[in-house]
Each structure stands twice: as structure tokens, then as C-alpha cells.
Structure 1
Amino acid sequence: MPAILEDPFTNPPAPPSLPSQKSPSDLSTPIKTTLKSGSPVTLYPITTGPSSLPHSLLRFLHAEFSAEIERGCTYPMEEPMEFARFGEYWFGLFGVVAVLDSPDGEEEGRGLSEDRDWERECLGTFYVKPNYPGRCSHVCNAGFLTTGAARNQGVGVVMGRAYLHFAPLLGYKYSVFNLVFENNVASVKIWEKLGFSVIGRVPGAARLTNSEELVDALIIGKDLVPKDAEKH
């Protein structure tokens, strides 16, 4: 669900400024939660760019994202991007990585260390960035990736809830997903469950590998500011 003015294959200008932010501690504190199976998960915010991630993790996520693009069902890109470009594209402004923890707490304190088994322990990742520039930059967009080993475990809902936690802390007021392909039923159900609504449709927007016909794209949105907060 790339930002509406984004071209991931050009050399981008410096990342846009985020809206007014909370304190760094609010944005850098990991979230601990559980999957629907009860397995513990930690979601780590990445606030200082791709260089703060273990190289092995960045390589793993690049491979997973490349495979997702090659499947041709969820992102509009037709070709994977180079590794050197991926880190800045995904983590250049603000990102989150979801990692499986062991029930006995064995991983407690290890955080995002280089020696972790990412194929088993990394469940997914998402980024948050402005959907529009300038005067409209308080409207955000996000891209989500669930890793191959984490399918059907409720990781999408866990990351969606974390997104709704962090996006308002980053100063965003509204969320827009520009390209949620209509035949991606699981994704649509997640966003409906989390209170998003379909606010538009682009007929025949995508040529996808899982459909012989052109697929409509849904535009999905949600207000990030509680209605009672708007009155103060």
C-alpha cells in the first residue's frame, strides 16, 4: 500500500518530516502482545533508520518482500527492488518489526540481536509514512509484510493494532491505504475488524497474477483522532 506519490525505484529526496511527535520514549518503547495461539510477540519500533537493524534481519526482510512482489498479488510493483534501496524505502522514516518470543522468556533481553533465527522468529514488519506531502502530510499511509512462516497466525491483526498505536503518536490524524486489492479478502477483513472503512474504489486498478481479470483497488481510511478529542 505505497504512499500515493511514491516511486520506490527512483532516488528519493530526503525523507519528509513527520508531524509533531511525542517524546522519543513513547515512540521507541516495544509493544508486547500475543498471537491468537497465545504465543508471545514483541513489536520493535525502528526510529533511527535501517542502519539500526541487524544486517541479517534486513537481508531476511528484503528477501521476504522480494518474494511478495514476485508473487504479484498484493503490491503494485512488478520487479523487486535492490537490497541497497530496500532499507531506506521501508525503514527510512518509521518502521516496526514483529518478533516471536519463546513462552519461557528465553529471548527476553535479546531484542533485535544479530544471531536470532529470523526465518523462525521474525513474523512481519510495517512502515508508516505520509501519504501526501506538505499541507496534507498529517495523513499517513503504511505498508505491511507478513513473513512466510507466520501465515494464518493472526500476525496481521497484531501489526494492525500496533499501527493504530504508533500512527497517532507520530502526529498523524488520518490513515489512508490507497491500494487494497479487492480480492485480498484476508486484508480487507483485518481492516474492517480494526474499524477502517472503504472510502473509495479504483475500478480495474491492477493486473495481478491471481486473477485473469483486472482487479479493483479499494481505498480504505480511518480517522486516527477520537471524536471527543476533536472538541478540546
Structure 2
Amino acid sequence: MTPEPQDRLIIRDATTEDWPAIFAFFTAIVADGETYAYPDGLSSEQAAGLWMEQAPSRTVVAVLDDRVVGSAKMGPNRPGRGSHVGTASFMVDPEARGAGIGGALGRHVVDWHRAEGYSAIQFNAVVQSNVGAVRLWQSLGFEIIGTVPAAFRSRRHGLVGLHVMHLAL
């Protein structure tokens, strides 16, 4: 019997050698226009500056069968007096969706924030029409605490809201 994909999944710190694989799906996801407000046409260097975090933050990759299939970045939501609340962003290679990678990355991020002593996690901008992500975060205990109306220009849906989601740790 072949193990399930999530049983073969390894989540580890991202390295500079992982960046080309991350950048390939980063570019596809941003170009799709449904989940991130990053500008189109970012160079590899510009995108790496937005995604590859430095301490005290962290960027990880999800590796399935020796292939980078997802990534998450995490750390404090704000500096200084707001640094006790964490945040995170996630990307899963569109070719690998549906294999539980987003959920595994989400659980990893929650566990990391807990272990690092954060009191909560706040997602600042979950696109309202991204129902799969909203459902996933809610399944991990996140609540929608507000929605900024018409704050995101979805390629397919026009103007949609951005949810602020929160999980007390």
C-alpha cells in the first residue's frame, strides 16, 4: 500500500536552493489573480524579498517525493509592541493541490507559533472568494473577525472583501 501524500510530506526550512521551485508557483499564483495582492511581473529577486523571511521570521517548504510543492512564511504580524501576535502566508503549487499540503503547512505554522510563544495568529488579508482557504483556516480554529469590503480586485470575481482572521493560542 502506498502511503498517503501527507504521510510522505516533509516540511523544513526553505533554502536559497529552494527558491527557483518556489518562484515557479509563486509566479503562477500571483498571475492567477485570486489570492495575493502582489504586483504582476515581479523579478525573482523582488519576489524573494517578499517571500524569503529572515529571523525572527521563518520560511518553510513542503517537499513531497523530493519536489517542493508548497511554502509558508511566518513570524510576527507587527514589530515591537505587536510582535506577540504572529502572521503567515501560504502557497501551494497548483499542480499539487488537493493532497493536504495546505492543511499540513497550516498545522505546522500554528504549532511553530505556539512553540515560539506567540499569543495569537492574525491573517490580515484572506480573500473572501478564496473559499477553500477560508474553510481550511476555520477548520484549524481561525475566526473571521472582520471583512474589509471590496479591498481585493479578483480577476474572476471583481471587487471582493478581505477577511481578517484570528486564532488565539
Structure 2 length normalisation: TM-score? 0.88
Opposite residue 133 of structure 1, the aligned amino acid is P
1:218 to 147, 155, 163: 163
1:64 to 25, 28, 39: 25
How many matched pairs? Answer: 164
Query: Cα RMSD between the aligned structures?
Result: 1.8
Which structure 2 segments of 5+ residues have no match? none
More strand by share: 2
Deviation at 1:218, TM superposition (A): 0.9
User: What is the match of residue 27 of structure 1?
Assistant: none
Opposite residue 53 of structure 1, the aligned amino acid is T
User: What is the match of residue 100 of structure 2?
Assistant: 154
Q: Does 1:140 align with 2:86?
A: yes
User: What is the match of residue 12 of structure 2?
Assistant: 44
**Looking at CA atoms only, which structure, 1 or 2, has the larger radius of gyration?**
1
Are residues 96 and 207 of structure 1, via their aligned partners in 2, closer, same or farther at CA, if it must alter by over 3 Å?
same
Q: Which residues in structure 2 correspond to 1:1-232 (within 5 Å)? A: 39-46=7-14, 52-54=15-17, 57-93=18-54, 94-101=58-65, 121-212=67-158, 214-224=159-169
**How far apart are the structure 2 equivalents of 1:39 and 1:143?**
23
More helix by share: 2
**How far apart are the structure 1 equivalents of 2:136 and 2:53?**
26
Indicate the SS of the match to 2:122: strand
Indicate the SS of the match to 2:154: coil
Opposite residue 161 of structure 2, the aligned amino acid is D
Opposite residue 219 of structure 1, the aligned amino acid is V
**How far apart are the structure 2 equivalents of 1:97 and 1:136?**
26
Indicate the SS of the match to 1:207: strand
Which structure 1 segments of 5+ residues have no match? 1-33, 47-51, 102-115, 225-232
**How far apart are the structure 2 equivalents of 1:145 and 1:205?**
20
Structure 1 length normalisation: TM-score? 0.66
Identity of aligned residues (%): 31
Indicate the SS of the match to 1:42: strand
Opposite residue 16 of structure 2, the aligned amino acid is L
Deviation at 1:38, TM superposition (A): 5.7
